[in-house]
Structure 1
Amino acid sequence: MKYKGIIFDFNGVLLWDADFHFQAWQATALRLRGSEMSGEEFATHVHGRTNSHILRYLTGRTLQGRELFDLAQIKELMYQNLCLKNPDRFALSPGATALLDFVVENGIPRTIATASEKNNVDFFAQHLDLEKWFGLQHIVYDDGFLPGKPAPDMYAKAAANLYLPPDACIVVEDSFSGFKSAHAAGIGHIVGLGPRETHDKLLACEGVSTVIESFEEFPRELLEA
């Protein structure tokens, strides 16, 4: 079966930046609760999650308004500084540019659905030239109103932004909350991206049909060119 559109998660998929987020969130956890997070906490409460969810988990209470904004910006500033201090690694992931060029050349509808907030989306657009491949107005991000992953809303909205039903789309994800979100949205084909040693675990996630180590392995034949 071929699919008409493709939706990308961003962090950990189009941009391999997990260690930058790890450093920034561990510093934030240490400041807010006096201890860093475990690997299990990261997998459950950080990967693919919105800032509001992560900060609620770290503080044990719901944050709103200026307090939520200020704490999120402190973390994001740390993260962005790490990106800028490592220009050799602040680049699209292996094979991503070639795949994006392919989908553009073949007129395949595409967008991004990310738990990042707008300030980070703007940061990525500025430094990674996202407008070359994406209509920025179609990118779905954490706007403070849309339920975050694992709720289906982000991927449902992304498909609607492409004027396609979810089952006509491919999603590329790397997080368990992202897989749940895409599956709940009725996405037609979910591709899990991660290191080779994680592939059995990724394939065991509900809805995941294909696993790849990088976009160099992406099965382009799934797309209706």
Structure 2
Amino acid sequence: MTAKCKGIVFDFNGVLLFDSHLNERAWRQFAISVCGRDLTAEEILVHMHGRSNKSFIEYLLQREVSLAECNEYSEQKETMYRAMCLDEGAGFCLSPGAQQLLDILAAKKIPMTIGTSAGKNNLLFYFKHLNLGNWFTMDEIVYDDGTLPCKPEPDVYIKAARKLRLRPEQCIVVEDSLSGIQAAAKAQIGKIIRIGNRMDDVKFAEGGLQFETITTLAELDSATHFAV
């Protein structure tokens, strides 16, 4: 865990974009509309954050859903979410320190990509409104296309490392969710960095998970973490 790494994989929601409050609000509205009930804080932490839409929809409905049904429910929720993003106005922007860090990594030619549970429509939305094309292409990003098991399974981060032409142990993963940290650990990622409140570390350290905590990407020092 102390060796310097060669590449980095960012989760998106909650890492490059601080939008957890919007995702939570949209899912809560969805749950009330479709299931007739609100979500608990534990459900949001354990079952929502970092999970695919299909996984959470099946949890809410307590049954399996077809691809067509999943797509319909997902778009219902994501339409609400994207409207909430735009309602934020200038507040809908990359997280503190993100643009500066991405510029530094690009200038140093450090391989980087995104490994996210977001779907393609949301990613296209982010490319349009957050200028992700300055640093990434869609082909480089691992997203929820329905072919990979969702976090906490390691597949997203194993595939992301392959996209960078690196081994998982040569990569850093930056995550905010428990399921994402578990996925990175299962993938044997070289270093895991959690974004969040350090007071919450104990909630994320169950099962011996090892990670470093920062509050924003402005705290991530490329010279400290990368072999260049």
TM-score, with length taken from structure 2: 0.95
**What's the secondary structure of 1:208's corresponding residue?**
coil
For the residue of structure 1 that corresponds to 2:117, the secondary structure is: strand
Deviation larger for 58-67 or 204-213: 204-213
The answer to whether 1:224 aligns with 2:227 is yes
**CA separation in 2, counterparts of 1:102 and 1:198?**
29
Aligned to 2:6: 4
Equivalent residue number for residue 81 of structure 2: 79
Contact kept? 1:56, 1:63, Cα under 8 Å: yes
Q: CA deviation at 1:203?
A: 5.1
Partners of 1:149 and 1:101 in 2: CA distance: 28
Match of 1:89 among 88, 91, 105: 91
Please tell me the root mean square deviation across aligned C-alpha atoms, in Å.
Answer: 1.3
Identity, in percent, stands at: 42
Which stretch of the first structure deviates more once superposed, 74-83 or 56-65? Answer: 56-65
Of 122, 125, 131 in structure 1, the residue corresponding to residue 127 of structure 2 is 125
Q: Which residue of 1 aligns with 2:211?
A: 209
The TM-score with structure 1 as length reference comes to 0.96
Instruction: Structure 1: give runs of 5+ residues left out of the alignment.
Output: none
Query: What letter corresponds to residue 71 of structure 2 in structure 1?
Result: F
Aligned residue among 67, 73, 96 for 2:69? 67
Q: Distance in 2 between matches of 1:64 and 1:116?
A: 18
In the TM superposition, what whole-angstrom CA distance separates every residue of 1:138-172 from its partner, at most 9, and x where no partner exists?
A: 10011111111000000000000000000000000
Picking from 29, 35, 38, the partner of 2:37 is 35
Aligned to 2:165: 163
Tell me how far 1:122 sits from its aligned partner.
Answer: 0.8
Find the aligned partners of 2:98 and 2:118 in 1 and give their Cα distance. Answer: 19
Corresponding position of 1:51: 53
Q: Tell me, what secondary structure is at the counterpart of 2:91?
A: coil
Equivalent residue number for residue 146 of structure 1: 148
CA shift for structure 1 position 192: 0.7
Counterpart position of 2:137:
135
Q: Offset of 1:89 from its aligned partner?
A: 1.9
Consecutive unaligned residues of structure 2, counting only runs of 5 or more, are none
> What amino acid is aligned across from residue 215 of structure 1 in structure 2?
L
Q: Shift of residue 204 of structure 1?
A: 5.4
State the alpha-carbon separation in 2 of the partners of residues 85 and 157 from structure 1: 34
Determine the C-alpha separation between the residues in 1 that align with 2:86 and 2:194.
27
Q: Deviations over 1:159-205 (max 9, x none)?
A: 00000000000000000000010000110000011024324444556
Q: Distance between the aligned counterparts of 1:80 and 1:208, measured in 2?
A: 33
Deviant stretches of 4+, over 6 Å: none
